[in-house]
Structure 1
């Protein structure tokens, strides 16, 4: 999403809007309460016409959280418009738990008779696209529409301002995991650490977590005042460190970041899309007892 707000945007008005939508502070999550996801239910049939390399990529589209550029078939995977960082993060989240979706995104192969939800409304021509970037673009656009639909009462969230966190939580899909959302008070380092520890606990269990980033919006203020500007995806990795791996969709790259490097910042961080703080998190619902 890169919520590039206009100069006329008034932070007080934004705070009032978020409060009216009921998206204020939640209770703190419990990192130890995060439940592991169910074992994968969807598989790629052996008869599917995929090479061994294509099959491995479809089963691990995030490349195991490997640091560096995310590429599929030589194509850098990155958001395709200034406002779809949230949509791409949600698309990659779904693909990480659904090899049927991942096989189409990475190779164009359609496996099984029923398309994943992210592809259900694509046209026959769109489903036949033979270019990675084109497939990502049409699927990203579909996810963007779904995540904005009816998120302002009966009205859609404006396309120009990306993806709202509550819309992201509603459509976030990873095998058997339900998501909720919570603002993160950038003026309360202790509470922010608990949220980030919960993110780390989830990724250690193999669950990706979307994070909304933004600037320093005032020390000690209400977290409902935090206006999200960008979305990144904390991804699972296998190297056993306590750091986070964060996929930044505008760069199409994954960064390794110590949690301490995300606390009390005053300058932007490449892993956060150039913003300085995590201001909202879309966490597994099981993190709240």
Structure 2
């Protein structure tokens, strides 16, 4: 899954078609989404203790995370507290490391990794500093094994060393996390309903996505149908406004190529410190502001969609049962 290509073909005079619109007409995956009920304070406004509590850490883990975050220098600490804060040029930077998808098939696991870092301060702390307070590396090594940097351990890394070395270590840890999500979201059972060329299926992403206490569900979107937009995209907007990001699958239609009429890319919808909606677009590694009305209508290619034009699927949070 990748950004839209520029070698578009002219239409053939027929109405543009979308796979998700066809499935919607066949009443496939048209279940309504339960909106998350209680407002959540935007993560960017939380203290380290507040973020640790939201992540569901126990008291001992919270105390350790708060102590470790307090010992970081200011730039590292700001990144840990809000991994979705854009740099001045609009890119997503973690201490100089440009956060973006490593290859064309990794858009979904990339946004899942960023979503998880935003929702779990212990994970963000490990990504930025290498300090592992909750056994992250033990879990990752079951899947990615030797791809973690040798210096990563349960103690802090020197903060006065070479910037390039630090960025390389962040890149290695982030790459391992992306591969972890890619494996977990695509490897389950022998039956594949989603072609591997399309990347990570939305139901696989929903199965592994986590944000604190919230679990996720995948829902098809027909952005040509008002009720579909209201129920699914509306749920994603409400969740983002309340501090919980959602994954949106985007694509094109048959007016360019028939292969474009399926979900081709993924973005992460979130609220930028409670100051408005934005998406993390992983192919460019940028934070791009969006308005709710933009998400509610179909149209031509958009920068926030990496050049694609339609929302085709959404991975949105549901109200916890507890």
Q: Which residue of 2 aligns with 1:222?
A: none
Q: Give yes or no for the alignment of 1:88 onto 2:126.
A: no
**Which is worse superposed, 170-179 or 115-124?**
115-124
Q: Which residue of 1 aligns with 2:136?
A: 115
* 3-state secondary structure, aligned to 2:280: strand
Do 1:86 and 1:163's aligned partners in 2 also have CA atoms closer than 8 Å? yes
Do 1:91 and 1:118's aligned partners in 2 also have CA atoms closer than 8 Å? no
Superposed CA RMSD? 3.6
Report the TM-score when normalising by structure 2.
0.71
Q: Give yes or no for the alignment of 1:103 onto 2:118.
A: no
Residues 1:280 and 1:152: Cα distance change in structure 2 (over 3 Å): farther
Do 2:95 and 2:128's aligned partners in 1 also have CA atoms closer than 8 Å? yes
TM-superposed CA distance for 1:114, in Å, is: 1.4
TM-superposed CA distance for 1:57, in Å, is: 1.4
**Which is worse superposed, 279-288 or 73-82?**
279-288
* 3-state secondary structure, aligned to 2:316: strand
* Correspondent of 1:253 among 271, 280, 286: 286
Aligned residues: 268
Q: Which residue of 2 aligns with 1:150?
A: 188
* 3-state secondary structure, aligned to 2:314: strand
Residues 1:202 and 1:239: Cα distance change in structure 2 (over 3 Å): closer
TM-superposed CA distance for 1:284, in Å, is: 1.2
Do 2:4 and 2:306's aligned partners in 1 also have CA atoms closer than 8 Å? no
Gaps of 5+ in 1: 6-11, 219-224
Report the TM-score when normalising by structure 1.
0.78
Q: Which residue of 2 aligns with 1:8?
A: none
Q: Aligned partners of 1:151 and 1:259: how far apart in 2? A: 37
* 3-state secondary structure, aligned to 1:229: strand
Give 1 or 2 for the bigger CA radius of gyration. 2
Q: Aligned partners of 1:30 and 1:65: how far apart in 2? A: 34
TM-superposed CA distance for 1:128, in Å, is: 3.1
Q: Which residue of 2 aligns with 1:231?
A: 266
Q: Aligned partners of 2:87 and 2:278: how far apart in 1? A: 6
Residues 1:250 and 1:267: Cα distance change in structure 2 (over 3 Å): same
* 3-state secondary structure, aligned to 1:150: coil
Do 1:210 and 1:231's aligned partners in 2 also have CA atoms closer than 8 Å? yes
Do 1:67 and 1:254's aligned partners in 2 also have CA atoms closer than 8 Å? no
TM-superposed CA distance for 1:45, in Å, is: 4.2
Residues 1:80 and 1:119: Cα distance change in structure 2 (over 3 Å): same
Q: Aligned partners of 1:233 and 1:187: how far apart in 2? A: 21
Q: Which residue of 2 aligns with 1:215?
A: 252
Q: Aligned partners of 1:118 and 1:65: how far apart in 2? A: 31
Q: Which residue of 2 aligns with 1:46?
A: 67
Could you list the structure 1 runs, at least 4 aligned residues long, displaced by more than 6 angstroms after superposition.
Answer: 64-67
Do 2:86 and 2:93's aligned partners in 1 also have CA atoms closer than 8 Å? no
Q: Which residue of 2 aligns with 1:128?
A: 150
Deviations 1:229-286 (A, max 9, x none): 1010001223544xx3111000101111112223443311111111101110111122
